[in-house]
Every structure is written in C-alpha cells, then in structure tokens.
Structure 1
Amino acid sequence: MSALEDKTVHAPPDLIVSGLALDSRKVEEGFLFFALPGEKEDGGEFIAEAKARGAACAVCEHPPETEIPYILVPDAHKALALCAAVWYGTPAGKLTVVGVTGTNGKTTTTYLIKQLLERTKGTKVGLIGTNQNLISDKTIPTDRTTPDALTVQRLLAQMVDAGCTYAVMEVSSHALMQSRVEGIRFRVGVFTNLTQDHLDYHGTMEAYCDAKSRLFDQCDIACVNGDDAWTERLLARFTGERITFGQGMTNDLVGWRARYENDCVRFTACTDLDHEETRIGIPGGFSLYNALASLSAVQALGVPLSDAAKALTECVGVKGRCEVVPLDAPFTVIIDYAHTPDGLKNILSTVCGFADGRVIALFGCGGDRDKTKRPRMGRIAAALSDFVVLTSDNPRTEDPYAILRDVLPALLESRTPFAVIENRREAIGFALHEAKESDVVVLCGKGHETYQEIGTIKYHLDEREVVRERFAQVQRKDAADAAKENEHEDHHCLHTELRGLRDHGKISGP
C-alpha cells in the first residue's frame, strides 16, 4: 500500500495480499479488490461478492456496506494503476515506453513505430493496441484500445520477461480519464490528430482535447501533428522537448513532394539537417501523416532519419486499415476501420484518388455512441462516393432503425444514389452485386473486428469471409441472369428497408 499516498486505512497492518482484481468474479482467496466507479455500474456494489469469493480487503472511494477490511482512496482508478505497477515490479521503468494518442491513426502509427524500432535497433518491441497486444512476436487478443490498468502492467511485465526493451502503446482518451496508464513515464508521446469522436463521453471537443493532453503530463518528448488545429491547446501545459511533423514547412519534420499512388505514398522526409526519399506501402493522405508521426517518434529515440526512412519502405500495413481483400474479381474490395467522420473522409478521399471506376461506400454508425456525427458521416459518404449502401455497424442496445434514421436525411438531401439495408451481410452482398468492372467497394467501420455487436452480444462477422462467400454466389450465376436478378434484388432490398423505416416511424413519404 506504499504506492498510495492519500489513503485512509481500515485494515490490519499485517494484511497479506495474494493478488489484485477489479472484477469480483475473478477474485480469489486473499485478493485485494478494487471497487471502481463506472458509467453504468459501481464496483462498490460488488464488494459483498468479492468478499464471498475470498477478498482480504477492498479499495474503494466510499465506506463499504459490507463488513470487510478496506482502504479509502479519493480515486480508485488511480489507486489500481499505482498498485498494479508495484505488484508487477514497475515494469515500465525497465522499458522505453512510447505512447500514441489521437482520434485517427493510432493503430497504424504504433505498428509502424514497432517495425521501425525492430528494423533500426535490432531489438524486441512490445505493443499494446486496438487490434492486438504483441509481446515481441507473440499475439495476445484484445477488445479495447487501452486495457485496464492491471492488464497494462501485466503486459508490460511480460514484455520485460520476454526481453523487450521498448513498448509502444495506443493511449485512448478514455484510458487517460480513467487513469489506466497512471504511473507510466513515457519517453515519447505522439499526437496524430483530433477530430470529432467520443463526444458522448467527453461532451465537447475542448474536453476531448484536454483528455488527450493528459498523456503529455507523463512524457519527456512530444511528437505532435503541427498541422492540426488542436495541437497548441493540447500542449498548453507541456514544457519538455517537442517535435512537430506535417506538410507545413514550419514543422520540424516535413513530408515534402508527396506523390499518392494506388498502393503507396512516396515523399521526401525533410528536417533542417537532412532530407531522405522514402515511401509507405499504404495509400492515402492519412498514411503520409502516420508515416511522419512514426519517423518523428523514432528520431526522438535517436534513430537517424536516413535509417528510419530506409526502414519505412519495408514496413507493412495493419489488418483492417485500407486492407484490400484478395479476390479474383474485375473490381476491388477494401476493408477499413473508418468509423468517425474524419476516418470516413480519409479513406473515401484516398480511394477517390486512385479508383478508375465508381466508388461504392458501405457504412453504418455505432449504437450507444455520439449521435451528432451520424448526419456528418452521411454527408461525407454521399459527397465522396458514387453509390452509398447504408447499413448497421454495431447497433449495440440501440434500435438499428433509429440509427439509420439519424443518417438517412443526409443521404436524401444528396443526389448520390443509395440503398438502405439494415442487415450487414445482405448489404455487403448487395454492394458486390452492384459493383462493375474497375469499381472499388469500400466496407467502412469494422476493419479488424470479426464480430457485430447487437444488443449485448457479439456475433461472429468477419467481412473477409462474407465477401468471399457472397462473391462466390455471384460467380455461380450466369452473367445475364445475374444482371436481371441483381436488378430485382436492388429494388427489393432498397424498398423493403425503406418500408421498414417508415413502419418504425423513421421516415415519411410514399
């Protein structure tokens, strides 16, 4: 308990603890149970269950109703993070830690930094992120951007045991607000960008920015997007070394003369002292910024620009980020995680830059999340594609038709043809039927996810599998018959869903 400075102890001084838990269902004999306050549930309600399972003591913000030794703290989340660090032997102190925050680009940037460090320093690097956690080359699945504090410290300890010398991690605004990375000193903090997201949690963009800025209270060096309008506010309190990157010529690291190609971006990385030709094998303007963020981070860690630029040409992309699905088809299918207005704009702008045919955009909006971004995403999809398929993303506990209703007016206002098909599998099949030679079908929102969350259940849905299955059905049909059937199905699907929306009171009209 020495890790906790501001505490009131109502427990024997010789208390012996055998483990830590924040989930009462995982408590074992002698465990210290952390009763964390949450958005929907309060951990204090589970102290009795934790005691029944053998908890020796509870850490909480209010005196428990259950008779049990306890420690009162002002912030149980922070207490968990600090105790977890001590429990696992303060592993962050044995690693050089890089934290990456921002609305978009965190996952790709962390993967690029990991690869650059491995290629230039020849060392083992761990990663904590949205797609997965990596302890060197060993994969550990994950279901959130930044895990709980106990898991973070356990992963860092496993990295140390595996011989890693660096750890790169995505740090979400939620994680910063909930103190999940409290007690970790980041050698480098990276800021990619800030666009509308998570306003259901933060309320305003200013509050969202301030949450992100907390990372830099724990950093030695800040590598930030100098072209982003929020950077100045983000670093208002930061007094350490800063490195800016971007396309603006006043940045410390400039991406100059960018050439956007179908499968890559070529550019010159420039500093006051050096300039290097390089490329990143992921198309799109956002890829340029992810590359610059990664190059600036490893430069801050002492890697010469010449070495980093060379290593960048050998780096590979991330599953679910502008991922082309291998398909023997006359059109292209791309899967991307774009689930924010800016993310959707980025991927569709990228595809517009190289598509020889039409751009067919399939997207939806997540349930129980910021509703204000839904019409914006509808307008973006209509403006940057030739055909829109509006469908469900992860509706969660919201009525999926209510979500469609929030998006639909933006599509109705546009002149872009569209279809509304709530069932995502059917929607993907429809998009593939609609695609013609040289078209590009962009499936937005799921990315690396292999599930769809409906209600409180996650059902298996891997878009790669769905694409292959639905395309195989198309291949089995005679071309002429398929064309006629597609025409019939298009009409049926669109009007069935629109009728469903009317039945739910979502739209009016004939």
Structure 2
Amino acid sequence: TTFTTPSSWRLQKHLREAVKAGCEYAIVEVTSHALDQNRVWGVDFDVAVITNVTREHLDYHKTIEEYAKIKERLFKMVSKNPKGISVVNLGMDKPDVFLNYEVKEKYGYGIKVQSSKFKVQSDSLKLKIVEAESIKLDIHNSQFTIHNSQFTLNLPGEFNVENALAATCVGLSQGISLEKISEALAKIKGIPGRMERIENNKGIEIIVDYAVTPDSLEKLYDYINQMRSSSHPTPASRDLPSGRGGRIIAVFGACGERDRGKRPIMGKIVGKAADYVFVTNEDPYNEDPQQIINEVFAGVVTPPPTSPLYQGGEDKGGLKTEGINAFRILDRHEAIKKALEMARAGDIVVVTGKGAEETMAIGAERIPWNDPKVIREVLGELEK
C-alpha cells in the first residue's frame, strides 16, 4: 500500500488474515488522514498511543490545532472500549488533552524531568508513570533504567529512548514484565533508515535517517551535535569555532505536494545545525523540484532584510552563504557524492528525508531509489 494506514477494506482484510493465521496482537500505525477519512472505522482498538503532535500535514489540516483534534479521535474511540488503555508522552505539548479521556488504564511516559510534574497528579489522573532515568547516550546505543531495571538499546538518541518507553508502556499494559521487555528491546539491532549508520573506510560517520519534519530534524541534529561536542578533537575540526569534533555535512530536501510552509523552517534548522549543507531533490511528485529546493534553501542561507524570514538579531535563518557552505544540487546522487567527497576523517555526513524507502516519486512515476544503496555505490566509486 502507498498509505501508512491502508484503506478500511484493505485493513479489515489484513486483520482477518492475521486472525486466521493465529496472531493475537495487531499493531497499527494510525495517521491523522486515516482518522479523518474513517479508514479505521470498525476497528475496536484496545490501546491508543500518542508519541507527539508537531507541525505536519498542515497542507491537509491547515492548523496544528485541527491536526491535534483529529489525533484525539483515536483516544475517543478507545474510551468507548471497557478495556481501553491509553499511553501518552508526558513530554509533548498539552498531554492533558489525551489523558483526560476516561479509560480503564492510563500510562504516561517520559524522561525524569518530563514526568516529574505529573507525579503529583498521578493519583487524580489515575496515571501510571513510566520514566527513564540514568540515561547514557553515545553514537551507537542508549542505556537507561526504568524502575531500577536496566535497558540497553542498539539505537542512539533520546528520541529512541522515548519510543522505547512507549513500547514498554504497551508491554506492561499487556502483563509483560520489565525484564522481558528489556530483553526484547536489546535484540533490536537497528531499524533501516532510522539513524542507520553506513560503514566505510574513510573514517567518517555516515547517518541515514527518514526525518522529514521540523521536529524530527531538530531532534536528530540536537543529538548529533551533542555527540560531536562530547567527542575528541580531530584533524577535520580545525576550521570549526569550537575546535571539537568533526564537521557536520547535511544532505536533504523536502517532499513535493506537502506543507510548503515547513520548507524554509526545515532549511533554517539544518542550516544552523550543520557546517555544510547540500539541498537536493526529494520526492517532488508533480511539483517543480528546483522550486522546492529554492524554498528549502531560503531558510538555509542568511535572508535579506526584506525577506519575511529576516527577524533581526541572531535569528536570521540558517546563516549559511551559497557557494561557501551551502549548495543547491538538483541531482540527489550528485549531492550525496559531493558531500562524501568533502568529508574528511572525523566528519559526520547526515542524509535525511528518504530513510530506507526504495523509490523516489517523480510525477506519476516511482523511480528506483535507496539512500543507503546509493551511498555505498558512491563510496565504492570514491575508493577506486
């Protein structure tokens, strides 16, 4: 299916086949589009999980408030189930909206700072809090404790700790022990296209990630900059103001026929976080790919005072200069090649927007494309 959540008849068909095959649990990713278009009508959900509500799909929903209201429908559905369970990220904006739906059990998760303010309300909210403490992060994995039980993830980043907490809440709600949950999470060796590291002989870190929203890009680059600042100086860091860690070289773009307003915002986030930026093609669909690139690039560079992006002070966009540390390259293969050619030992090359996807949408066509595969091909070419 080309949809994250299949059509109602296809979803029901899959669920029926799963029951016939002896499956006891079905995990369904429910999008706001699916809720608004009644694709999950007739599905009697037992558990509803909300990880966050950030700027996304505003081309469809128009406002983030409307987007959040649509998300609430899933919790309204679960509240009608006598055995309904809700799982809410306590670190998100306005978690109370989702916690206010009456269900049999409520779980709230977060890191200690996020969840502490809810502890005083936990009794009145009938809320079970699952929080991560003693968090240790590095470029390869994450370690933390939940109620004194040790957890190790082969997935880096605080956002992956939060995702693991959501999964832990669901497991606990189904009677699975923390020990069993910890063992299961430790077996995950990586998720294709999600903070995926590409091995190479150049001594550089190459990361492929699906990040396609301002929030996901911000979290990704916050993590990468934390890792860089904690690393030892390298030869590649000599031209950085901090003198610590390697340079961050970004390759990214934006999808066509989606929320245009987020394009310069994404450009600004990456422009500020990375040392060098290559803006390139990324699923243009029926839009002009160069126009999409230009709209993203407007946020990467320092805008002129006449631009609506110019806000004065330190908040002037990505503060990059075209031709020096910011580049527009229409051909995604060429953009990746230029970034890898630029990289020196100790640098971090980050390629976002496609993740593990196998095609690129150009007009009505789906062209074979896979970022990790292309990166490996380019590395092979550079080694010759």
Q: What is the CA-CA distance between 1:236 and the residue it aligns to?
A: 4.3
Q: Secondary structure at the match of 2:17?
A: helix
Larger Cα-atom Rg = 1
Out of 306, 320, 328, the residue aligned to residue 179 of structure 2 is 306
* 8 A Cα contact 2:202 2:344, kept in partner: no
Structure 1 vs Structure 2: percent identity of aligned residues?
35
The whole-number CA distance in structure 2 between the counterparts of 1:408 and 1:468 is: 26
Out of 263, 266, 269, the residue aligned to residue 146 of structure 2 is 269
Q: What is the CA-CA distance between 1:450 and the residue it aligns to?
A: 1.3
Q: Secondary structure at the match of 1:215?
A: helix
Higher alpha-carbon deviation: 172-181 or 224-233: 224-233
Q: What is the CA-CA distance between 1:162 and the residue it aligns to?
A: 1.6
1:156 aligns with 2:5: no
Out of 349, 356, 368, the residue aligned to residue 257 of structure 2 is 368
Out of 160, 163, 166, the residue aligned to residue 25 of structure 2 is 166
Q: What is the CA-CA distance between 1:394 and the residue it aligns to?
A: 0.9
1:418 aligns with 2:326: yes
Q: Deviations over 1:379-433 (max 9, x none)?
A: 1101111111111111111111221221222222134421110111111111111
* 8 A Cα contact 1:268 1:277, kept in partner: yes
Q: Secondary structure at the match of 1:233?
A: helix
Partner of 2:383: 475
* 8 A Cα contact 1:198 1:370, kept in partner: yes
The whole-number CA distance in structure 2 between the counterparts of 1:199 and 1:163 is: 39
1:453 aligns with 2:312: no
The whole-number CA distance in structure 1 between the counterparts of 2:92 and 2:198 is: 32
Partner of 1:224: 88
The whole-number CA distance in structure 1 between the counterparts of 2:382 and 2:60 is: 43
Q: Secondary structure at the match of 1:396?
A: coil
Task: Calculate the aligned-residue CA RMSD, in Å.
Answer: 1.5
Q: What residue ranges of structure 1 are gaps of 5+ in the alignment?
A: 1-141, 477-510
Q: Deviations over 1:198-234 (max 9, x none)?
A: 0000111111001111111222100110111132233
* 8 A Cα contact 1:188 1:223, kept in partner: yes
Q: Secondary structure at the match of 1:438?
A: coil
Q: Secondary structure at the match of 2:219?
A: helix
The whole-number CA distance in structure 2 between the counterparts of 1:217 and 1:243 is: 16
User: TM-score if structure 2 supplies the norm length?
Assistant: 0.83
Out of 221, 227, 235, the residue aligned to residue 348 of structure 1 is 221
* 8 A Cα contact 2:356 2:371, kept in partner: no
Partner of 2:131: 254
Q: Secondary structure at the match of 2:354?
A: coil
1:463 aligns with 2:371: yes
Q: State the AA in 2 paired with 1:375.
A: P
Partner of 1:196: 55
Q: Deviations over 1:69-89 (max 9, x none)?
A: xxxxxxxxxxxxxxxxxxxxx
Hey, which bits of structure 1, 4+ residues long, moved more than 3 A? 234-240
Partner of 1:177: 36
Q: Secondary structure at the match of 2:367?
A: strand
Partner of 2:278: 389
Partner of 2:232: none
Q: What is the CA-CA distance between 1:465 and the residue it aligns to?
A: 2.0
For residues 60-99 of structure 1, what are the structure 2 equivalents within 5 Å? none
Q: What residue ranges of structure 2 are gaps of 5+ in the alignment?
A: 79-83, 120-128, 229-244, 303-317
Q: State the AA in 2 paired with 1:359.
A: I
* 8 A Cα contact 2:88 2:98, kept in partner: no
* 8 A Cα contact 1:388 1:418, kept in partner: yes
Q: State the AA in 2 paired with 1:420.
A: R
Q: Deviations over 1:442-465 (max 9, x none)?
A: 110001211111112111111122
The whole-number CA distance in structure 1 between the counterparts of 2:16 and 2:211 is: 32
Q: Secondary structure at the match of 1:291?
A: helix
* 8 A Cα contact 2:251 2:279, kept in partner: yes
Q: State the AA in 1 paired with 2:173.
A: A
Q: What is the CA-CA distance between 1:258 and the residue it aligns to?
A: 1.0
Out of 287, 297, 305, the residue aligned to residue 160 of structure 2 is 287
Partner of 2:246: 357
Partner of 2:212: 339
* 8 A Cα contact 1:269 1:309, kept in partner: no
The whole-number CA distance in structure 2 between the counterparts of 1:317 and 1:186 is: 28
The whole-number CA distance in structure 1 between the counterparts of 2:220 and 2:145 is: 22
Matched residue count: 331
The whole-number CA distance in structure 2 between the counterparts of 1:405 and 1:462 is: 23
* 8 A Cα contact 1:348 1:384, kept in partner: yes
* 8 A Cα contact 1:209 1:234, kept in partner: no
Q: Deviations over 1:264-291 (max 9, x none)?
A: 1111113xxxx31212110011111101
* 8 A Cα contact 1:210 1:234, kept in partner: no
Q: Secondary structure at the match of 1:170?
A: coil
Q: State the AA in 1 paired with 2:146.
A: A
Partner of 1:130: none
Partner of 2:193: 320
Q: Secondary structure at the match of 2:131?
A: strand
Q: What is the CA-CA distance between 1:235 and the residue it aligns to?
A: 4.2
